Amino acid sequence: MPRIEGHDNPTIAAYNRSAVVRACEKALGEGITAARNILPRLRLSYLEREALDRMPYGLQCVFDVDTPDDLRRAEEILLREG
């Protein structure tokens, strides 16, 4: 999971499907329905900014694409770097 300046981004993380299913089943059995509440039940590894800076595309590879402007930005990065 990316962790940039102390902020985690669980939507851009990679998860073990089996572990997530088990955590969700257990949480639901306990009446817990918010997805964010399963994170403490998972063994997580974090990518700090320094590690992300060394990766292809650096920090550009871990931003959310939520709006048409975000999508244009992502496309520009891919065209420029690709």
Quick: pLDDT tens for 17-50: 999 999 999 999 999 999 889 999 999 999 898 8
pLDDT at 82 over 90: no
Nearest to 49 by CA among 8, 82, 2: 2
Residue 2 DSSP SS3: strand
Quick: pLDDT tens for 45-77: 998 988 888 887 788 778 778 899 999 988 988
pLDDT for 60 equals 77
Q: How far is CA 30 from CA 19, 21, 26, 45, in A?
A: 17, 14, 6, 25
Using pLDDT thresholds of 50, 70 and 90, give the confidence band for residue 81.
Answer: low
